[in-house]
Amino acid sequence: VPELSVRVLARPHWEAAAAEEFLADSAQKWTRTPGATDAEELVEFAGRICYMSFGKRQSPRDNSQYIHNLIRQGHESVLEHANWTFLVAGVSRAFTHQLVRHRIGFSFSQLSQQYHDESDAMFVVPEIVNGRPELLTAWQGIVDQARNSYNLLLSRLIEAEPTLPAGLGDPREVTRAVRSAARSLLPNATETKIVVTANARALRHFFDVRGNIVGDLEMRRVSSELFKAVTKDASSLFADFEIVTLQDGFPAVIRKP
Ligand SMILES: Cc1cc2nc3c(=O)[nH]c(=O)nc-3n(C[C@H](O)[C@H](O)[C@H](O)COP(=O)(O)OP(=O)(O)OC[C@H]3O[C@@H](n4cnc5c(N)ncnc54)[C@H](O)[C@@H]3O)c2cc1C
């Protein structure tokens, strides 16, 4: 049984010296907020460039107040400058099918079932099955059957390879055709790994629409892990969200009341 994991592969990093150099060249002074993170400073700086609100034009707001005000005004495009890259593993294909529907501000690189042999595929147990021994045994029997069917069809297709027309002479295309046919027998529970890059604005939208779908426990768990990771790096960009534990004992990401 694979464990859900969310790892941060890349996080916002900004070159404060480059910004300071630009300001010095422009005879501008920016009063920075001590303790603001790279992501938060990058967003603030990008916002200030819009109005050149430096020096006398800088209001007394600190970094978090400035970002709060950007969000309140709906000036959220500035948040797109902060990007994270995650490695999400131990999740089901059902989950990633929903995830990759997010088109704007997201990029994906996912384990291929055409290039990767899935003979040893693992399967993600739905939370409501987990912990109920009878249900779990039944579920395991069914996914084992699916894996056996995959392996059986794969070996039959490999035996039949010389007679298959799909490759048109290219062995890689024969393999693709064989694995494509075999994977048709794998269930939605099949475990997968996906690298996800997303910006803060896109993640905020994701938390809004996905973070608190009560019956979608896998989605809630991943949303919560993503939320924990990004708030560590840039709490001001997500200050209007929080994690709560719902009655079922699982987390959800909600808008603060
Ligand atoms: C509870 C729930 C149930 C769902 N059920 C189904 C279902 O049964 N079947 C199904 O197919 N999908 C379903 N979805 C997926 C849903 O329809 C979206 O595809 C998915 O949530 C991505 O959301 P999005 O389009 O807002 O995100 P993104 O693709 O990231 O887009 C972000 C925002 O950009 C704007 N935008 C993006 N593309 C366009 C465009 N082409 N034109 C104009 N504006 C655009 C919109 O404002 C959009 O909200 C469901 C989602 C949820 C949350």
pLDDT means over runs of 10, the chain (257 residues) = 94 98 96 98 98 95 98 97 98 98 98 96 95 96 97 94 73 89 98 98 98 98 98 98 97 97
**Ligand 1 center from residue 106 Cα (angstroms):** 13
| Ligand 1 neighbourhood includes 57 CB (under 6 angstroms) | no
| Ligand 1 neighbourhood includes 213 CB (under 6 angstroms) | yes
User: What is residue 163's predicted lDDT score, i.e. its pLDDT?
Assistant: 83
User: What is residue 1's predicted lDDT score, i.e. its pLDDT?
Assistant: 74
**Ligand 1 center from residue 23 Cα (angstroms):** 40
Catalytic residue among 11, 179, 210, 220: 210
| Ligand 1 neighbourhood includes 102 CB (under 6 angstroms) | yes
CA dist 33 and 53 (Å) reads: 15
**Ligand 1 center from residue 62 Cα (angstroms):** 34
Q: pTM of the entire structure? A: 0.96
User: What is residue 168's predicted lDDT score, i.e. its pLDDT?
Assistant: 64
Distances (CA, A) of 81 to 15, 20, 21, 105, 117: 13, 18, 20, 10, 37
User: What is residue 171's predicted lDDT score, i.e. its pLDDT?
Assistant: 83
Give the ligand 1 atom nearest the CA of 104: 30
**Ligand 1 center from residue 139 Cα (angstroms):** 31
Residue 134 falls in which region: left (phi positive, over 0), alpha (psi -120 to 50) or beta = alpha
HSE (side-chain half, CA atoms, 13 Å) at 159: 6
Whether 87 and 9 have beta carbons less than 8 Å apart is answered as yes
Ligand 1 pocket, mutate which of 80, 102, 108, 213 (most atoms under 8 A from CB): 102
**Ligand 1 center from residue 84 Cα (angstroms):** 21
Q: What is the dihedral of CA 157, 161, 164, 166, to 10 degrees?
A: 90
| Ligand 1 neighbourhood includes 101 CB (under 6 angstroms) | yes
| Ligand 1 neighbourhood includes 104 CB (under 6 angstroms) | yes
User: What is residue 167's predicted lDDT score, i.e. its pLDDT?
Assistant: 61
User: What is residue 14's predicted lDDT score, i.e. its pLDDT?
Assistant: 97
Q: How far is CA 141 from the centre of its chain?
A: 30
User: What is residue 42's predicted lDDT score, i.e. its pLDDT?
Assistant: 98
Numbers of helices and strands, H then E, in the chain: 8, 6
| Ligand 1 neighbourhood includes 205 CB (under 6 angstroms) | yes
Catalytic residue status for 172: no
Q: State how beta strands 241-245 and 191-199 pair.
A: unpaired
Cα Dmax for the chain: 78
Distances (CA, A) of 157 to 113, 154, 185: 16, 5, 13
Whether 222 and 90 have beta carbons less than 8 Å apart is answered as no
Give the ligand 1 atom nearest the CA of 216: 1
The 10 Å Cβ neighbour count of residue 38 is: 16
